[in-house]
């Protein structure tokens, strides 16, 4: 498959640096748009995925009218001045069940226990996007979590092609150091030695695998090939990492974060680190999860996020749950606004060139439902400002993975095969309409 981000002779041979006030910012690698003219620049496409494992209260998240976003429901009101920058999707899901045990399918569509039955395993959309981006950035993707302690309510958002969950970076100082702290000569030497040792180990593994191949049956050969695919993936990452060792990391106007910050401080900080990573073209794909065990005391509450989500329509529990969900939405709005305010050298804003997906693998935590997932898609030049109401009746429902396939095609600039459970793509222009009550909406499948 062709990678539209691969270096060509129409691309600048080096990055442009902005210097001022003692700060050096590395601008994203830009490409000349041959169709628009030799002097026109286009910024690369980017993707950000944000999720929590407990969803959002449906009546507070979904608008009551389809078509153009007009009157926003309570949870979306913090995004009112951005309503032309995002769209909401109703009646999209993966057709899975299992409550909390299926929330991890948000970005993949496939339960990890069933991944062996699929050719693509349960690879998540963010990791496939990272593959499509290729080796143009230091980090193929960033996987981060605002939670410190792993539990059954962690999102487990990102999955590799071999069905392995990628553990997230959960400390802001570690993420900052990974992205922006310069390695000293001793550290670079140690990394290069480690890469060489790992490469030698992989050579031995490959040789042993070849000697086994002729002795195995067809089923075991297939399993061995899957294993070798994983080995080749590791080799590629090692090679990419080795090539970046001696390249300077960008300097950014942000002090190194400290440990011990509250959740209310950590979430906006992670958003800012992601924005800077995209702005400096350190990566083009990022995922961020908000855990189900977040410390609600930081929001002035007593109790438990998970317990609040099982509100059973209790006004007391709903009121406290709304505080948690509104805080998440306010911070998402701040992130989107900061992205919109970040101009790109080739024109437009960082948000114009970045698809931001926010949602959950849980549709209604109170009833343990994985149906009708809360889906918000912002930016990316997708013609937003709509509430897309998809078919609700059985047999006519559209898989959420159809939207993911649409996103991947937008990200890569090329046609993609259906992602995971997808049956095709979604024509967003077809579903755009004037605002009208959902009860009067005639829904037709794409």
9 within domain boundaries: no
Q: Do 277 and 243 fall into the same domain?
A: no
Q: How many domains does the chain have?
A: 2
Enclosing domain of residue 354 = 17-180+252-440
The predicted-structure confidence for 273-310, as pLDDT tens digits, reads as follows: 999 999 999 999 999 999 998 999 999 999 999 999 99
8 within domain boundaries: no
Question: Any alpha helices (H) in 342-427, and if so which ranges?
Answer: 400-412
Which of 53-57, 212-216, 330-334, 373-377 shows the lowest per-residue confidence on average (mean pLDDT)?
212-216
1 within domain boundaries: no
Residue-wise burial string across 176-202, b where 16 or more C-beta atoms lie within 10 A, e elsewhere: bbbbbeeeeeeeeeeeeeebeebeeee
429-446 mean pLDDT: 54
Distance CA 142, CA 162 (A): 18
The predicted-structure confidence for 76-110, as pLDDT tens digits, reads as follows: 999 999 999 999 999 999 999 999 999 999 999 99
Percent of residues, the chain, with pLDDT higher than 90: 61
Q: Do 62 and 29 fall into the same domain?
A: yes
258-269 mean pLDDT: 93
Distance CA 299, CA 368 (A): 25
Q: Do 89 and 69 fall into the same domain?
A: yes
User: Does residue 439 surpass a pLDDT of 70?
Assistant: no
Q: Do 146 and 264 fall into the same domain?
A: yes
Q: Do 99 and 63 fall into the same domain?
A: yes
304-330 mean pLDDT: 95
pLDDT of residue 204: 66
Q: Do 233 and 140 fall into the same domain?
A: no
pTM of this prediction?
Answer: 0.82
Distance CA 139, CA 120 (A): 22
Percent of residues, the chain, with pLDDT higher than 70: 72
**Of the candidates 442, 440, 437, the residue with the CA atom closest to the CA atom of residue 64:** 437
Q: Do 423 and 335 fall into the same domain?
A: yes
């Amino acid at each position: 498959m062709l990678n539209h981000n691969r270096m060509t002779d129409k691309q600048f041979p080096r990055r442009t640096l902005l210097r001022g006030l003692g700060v050096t910012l590395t601008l994203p690698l830009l490409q000349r748009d041959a169709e628009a003219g030799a002097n026109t620049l286009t910024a690369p496409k980017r993707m950000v995925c944000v999720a929590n494992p407990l969803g959002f209260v449906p009546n507070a998240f979904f608008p009551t009218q389809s078509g153009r976003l007009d009157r926003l429901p309570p949870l979306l009101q913090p995004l009112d001045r951005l309503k032309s920058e995002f769209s909401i999707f109703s009646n999209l899901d993966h057709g899975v069940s299992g409550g909390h045990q299926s929330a991890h399918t948000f970005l993949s569509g496939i339960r990890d226990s069933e991944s062996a039955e699929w050719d693509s395993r349960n690879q998540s959309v963010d990791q496939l996007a990272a593959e499509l981006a290729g080796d143009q950035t230091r980090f193929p993707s960033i996987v981060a979590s605002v939670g410190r302690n792993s539990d059954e309510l962690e999102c487990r958002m990102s999955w590799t092609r071999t069905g392995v969950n990628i553990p997230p970076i959960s400390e802001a100082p570690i993420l900052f150091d990974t992205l922006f702290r310069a390695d000293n000569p001793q550290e670079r030497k140690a990394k290069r030695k480690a890469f060489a040792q790992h490469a030698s180990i992989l050579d031995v593994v490959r040789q042993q695998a070849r000697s086994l191949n002729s002795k195995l049956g067809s089923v075991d050969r297939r399993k061995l090939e899957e294993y070798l695919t994983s080995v080749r993936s590791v080799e590629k990452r090692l090679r990419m990492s080795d090539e970046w060792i001696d390249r300077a990391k960008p300097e950014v106007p942000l002090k190194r974060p400290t440990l011990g910050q509250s959740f209310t401080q950590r979430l906006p900080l992670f958003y800012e680190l992601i924005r800077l990573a995209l702005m400096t073209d350190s990566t083009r794909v990022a995922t961020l999860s908000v855990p189900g065990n977040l410390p609600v005391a930081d929001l002035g509450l007593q109790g438990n996020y998970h317990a609040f989500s099982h509100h059973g329509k209790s006004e007391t529990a709903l009121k406290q749950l709304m505080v948690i969900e509104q805080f998440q939405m306010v911070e998402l709005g701040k992130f989107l606004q900061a992205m919109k305010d970040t101009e790109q050298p080739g024109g437009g804003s960082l948000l114009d060139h970045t698809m931001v997906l926010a949602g959950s693998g849980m549709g209604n935590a109170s009833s343990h439902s994985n149906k009708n997932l809360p889906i918000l898609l912002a930016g990316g030049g997708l013609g937003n400002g709509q509430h897309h109401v998809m078919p609700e009746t059985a047999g006519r429902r559209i898989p959420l993975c159809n939207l993911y396939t649409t996103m991947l095609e937008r990200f890569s600039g090329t046609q993609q095969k259906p992602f995971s459970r997808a049956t095709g793509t979604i024509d967003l222009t077809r579903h755009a309409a004037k605002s009208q009550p959902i009860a009067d909406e005639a829904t037709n499948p794409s």
